[in-house]
Chain A
Amino acid sequence: TIRITDSDHHHHHHPIINRIMSSTVESPELQQYMMKRNQEVEIGKLICQMTRDCWRQCVSSVDRATLGRSENRCMRNCTSRYMNASVFLMDQMSAKGASQ
């Protein structure tokens, strides 16, 4: 799966993961499963954050319970642009690493 921003993925912040990893986990199957779940949670959190940030830029009032057409377009564009910026910066950063 793609990593959008390289967050601190070696430290497990989710309490469930910490709890289970601290008891002796011997099954590699389970560890792999937990890794996958953890990754999904990280992605879920990222999507929540993008929702909040783009909401602040795109939605000014809640006269209606649904998104207007331009609000919807704004939310989608905001999300795309954020992701493209993120990938762009990742490439820039790894280019810096390669040149040094």
Chain B
Amino acid sequence: IIIIIIMASLLRGKSGAGQQQQHGRQPSEQEAMHLRIKAQFDQAIVRQLLEQATDECFKTCCEPNGHSSSALSGGEKECLTRCLDKFVSAHGSVYQSFVSNVQEIERKRDKQMQQKQ
């Protein structure tokens, strides 16, 4: 129990501003910690997605115009917005494709196993 309390406070210190603890229904300490850990990991994935979208979208929307000014034009901002939406959709397609491919691969594996027996 003591270890769980220590780690929970460690995680509380690290978590972002959006994480509020529920004061209504009390989840078990372990559940609460699991949720915090999960949130950290989800944040990590979103962060990586954003990083990549930023790279690709900067390349597509800003680089072609040269860097004669420090500000973003209105057109560039619109492009960046569209690009982010599109990149997130692309990510969704990849995710769905990934899931169905994993199922397909495991199905083939199972068949291979059965044939060996």
Residue on A with the closest CB to B56?
A55
* Count of chain A to chain B residue pairs whose CB atoms are closer than 8 Å in the complex: 123
Q: In the assembly, what is the distance between CA of A24 and CA of B3, in Å?
A: 8
User: How many residues on the A side are at the interface (Cβ–Cβ under 8 A)?
Assistant: 48
Residue on A with the closest CB to B7?
A20
A14 and B44 within 8 A (CB): yes
A33 and B34 within 8 A (CB): yes
| A89 CB-CB contact with B under 8 Å | no
B10 and A51 within 8 A (CB): no
Q: In the assembly, what is the distance between CA of A40 and CA of B6, in Å?
A: 24
Chain B residues contacting A23 (CB-CB under 8 Å) are: 3, 6-7, 10
Q: In the assembly, what is the distance between CA of A72 and CA of B101, in Å?
A: 16
Query: What secondary structure prevails in chain B residues at the interface with A?
Result: helix
Chain B residues contacting A71 (CB-CB under 8 Å) are: 90
Query: What secondary structure prevails in chain A residues at the interface with B?
Result: helix
Residue on B with the closest CB to A34?
B37
B81 and A79 within 8 A (CB): no
- Residues on B lying within 8 angstroms of A by beta carbon are 3-4, 6-7, 10-11, 14, 30, 34, 37-38, 40-41, 44-45, 48-49, 52, 55-57, 60-61, 79, 81-83, 85-87, 89-91, 93-98, 101-102, 105-106
A–B complex contacts, Cβ < 8 Å, 8 sampled: A16-B40, A23-B10, A44-B41, A51-B52, A62-B86, A65-B83, A67-B86, A79-B94
- Residues on A lying within 8 angstroms of B by beta carbon are 2, 14, 16, 19-20, 23-27, 29-30, 33-34, 37, 40-41, 43-52, 54-56, 58-59, 61-67, 71-72, 75-76, 79-80, 83-84, 87
